[in-house]
């Protein structure tokens, strides 16, 4: 007796590569094939479980270090790096909308400012928060794979060079960026860059969390009198708290999308990633 479509599907699911090739021959519908693909893409491998566990550990460690007295300074360099992402996002948005960047500077008390001329405020004002959140999500995505982390570090290097150009008179920005570049370069030469993915992952999680916290701190908890959202609200309507909530939700969605995309795109094991890394800009 010929097997039913349901029986054929049950027998094919355990072996996806074979199932994908024979689904069409068996007359399985396009919807069923899509379901098979989705099931395979979002299946969490052992390596990905380790990565998700590390992300969870990063969240806990960052939350503790953020609030514990005397040890907060441990995160200070990374906070300054994320602030650099924030200001870089403002600057890039200004350039892309026809404006000009005069300077970027960071404040040792965890602040920063970008002096711009021109550009579209509707884009440049939210770009700081949302841009750093998007950068965090992309770095989290790349943190699931060694080669992707190498590519991400190269892109970061280009962004850092632009930031240095815009901040060439601000010593704190220069030192922060140079230390970050030094850390990334050092990781390239350790165990075929395997540690690089965890550094990129940490920076990504930190950037995503800092963006959400900064939005809540500045806008929702009203610890500052003026912010990008308060200026945005004056120009385009609404309240700074309302825009803060909206931008926070978008930032969290960016982070979730980065994690889900990382699971779907990078199913390879640690050993497979190491083998690929040996052939992509090898360092030894």
| pLDDT tens for each residue of 223-278 | 555 678 888 989 999 888 888 888 889 999 999 999 999 999 999 999 999 999 99
Please write the tens of the pLDDT for every residue from 50-109: 999 999 999 999 888 877 877 778 888 888 888 889 999 999 999 999 999 998 988 877
**Three-state SS for 106?**
strand
**Range 142-150 average pLDDT:** 96
Mean predicted confidence (pLDDT) in 114-123: 92
Token couple for 137:
């999500």
Q: Give me the mean pLDDT over the 155-179 stretch.
A: 84
Provide the token pair at 106: 């960071």
pLDDT band, residue 221 (cuts 50/70/90): low
Rounded CA-CA distance 58/200 in Å is 12
Beta strands, E only, the chain = 100-107, 111-117
Region 207-232 average pLDDT: 73
Using DSSP's 3-state secondary structure scheme, residue 217 falls into helix
Share of the chain above pLDDT 90, in %: 43
Alpha-carbon span 55 to 141, nearest angstrom: 11
Q: How large is the average pLDDT for residues 198-218?
A: 85
Q: Which of 35-39, 151-155, 253-257, 266-270 has the lowest mean pLDDT?
A: 35-39
Mean of all residue pLDDT scores within the chain: 81
For 139, residues 6+ apart whose C-beta sits below 8 A from its C-beta are 152, 156, 200, 201, 203, 204, 207, 258
Is pLDDT above 50 for 19? no
> Looking at residue 267, what DSSP letter applies?
-
pLDDT, residue 57, reads 96
pTM (2 d.p.) = 0.80
Ramachandran assignment for 111, one of left (phi > 0), alpha (psi -120 to 50 degrees), beta (any other)? beta
Q: Judge whether residue 38 has pLDDT over 80.
A: no
Tokens of 175: 């030192």
Other CB atoms within a 10 A radius of the CB of residue 228 amount to: 24
100-107 and 111-117: which strand pairing?
antiparallel
DSSP assignments along 11-62, one per residue? HHTT-HHHHHHHTTTTT--HHHHHHHHHHHHTPPPHHHHHHHHHHHHHHHHH
Two structure tokens written together for 57: 């550990």
The confidence score (pLDDT) of residue 284 equals 67
């Amino acid at each position: 007796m010929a097997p039913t479509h349901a029986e054929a599907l049950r027998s094919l699911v355990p072996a996806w590569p074979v199932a994908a090739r024979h689904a069409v021959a068996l007359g399985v519908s396009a919807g069923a094939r899509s379901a098979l693909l989705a099931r395979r893409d979002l299946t969490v491998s052992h390596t990905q479980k380790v990565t998700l566990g590390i992300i969870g550990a990063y969240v806990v460690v960052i939350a503790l270090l953020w609030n514990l007295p005397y040890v907060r300074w441990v995160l200070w360099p990374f906070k300054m790096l994320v602030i650099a992402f924030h200001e870089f996002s403002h600057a890039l948005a200004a350039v892309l909308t026809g404006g000009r960047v005069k300077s970027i500077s960071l404040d040792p008390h965890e602040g920063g400012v970008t002096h711009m001329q021109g550009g579209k405020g509707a884009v440049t004002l939210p770009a700081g928060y949302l841009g750093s959140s998007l950068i965090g999500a992309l770095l989290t995505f790349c943190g699931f794979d060694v080669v992707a982390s190498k590519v991400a570090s190269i892109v970061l290097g280009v962004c850092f060079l632009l930031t240095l150009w815009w901040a060439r008179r601000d010593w704190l920005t220069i030192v922060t960026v140079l230390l970050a570049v030094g850390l990334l370069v050092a990781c390239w030469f350790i165990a075929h860059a395997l540690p690089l993915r965890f550094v990129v992952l940490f920076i990504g999680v930190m950037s995503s969390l800092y963006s959400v916290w900064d939005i809540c701190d500045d806008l929702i908890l009203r610890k500052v009198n003026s912010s990008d959202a308060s200026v945005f609200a004056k120009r385009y309507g609404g309240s700074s708290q309302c825009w803060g909530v909206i931008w926070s939700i978008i930032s969290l969605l960016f982070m979730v999308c980065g994690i889900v995309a990382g699971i779907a795109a990078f199913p390879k094991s640690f050993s497979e990633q190491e083998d690929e890394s040996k052939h992509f800009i090898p360092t030894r």
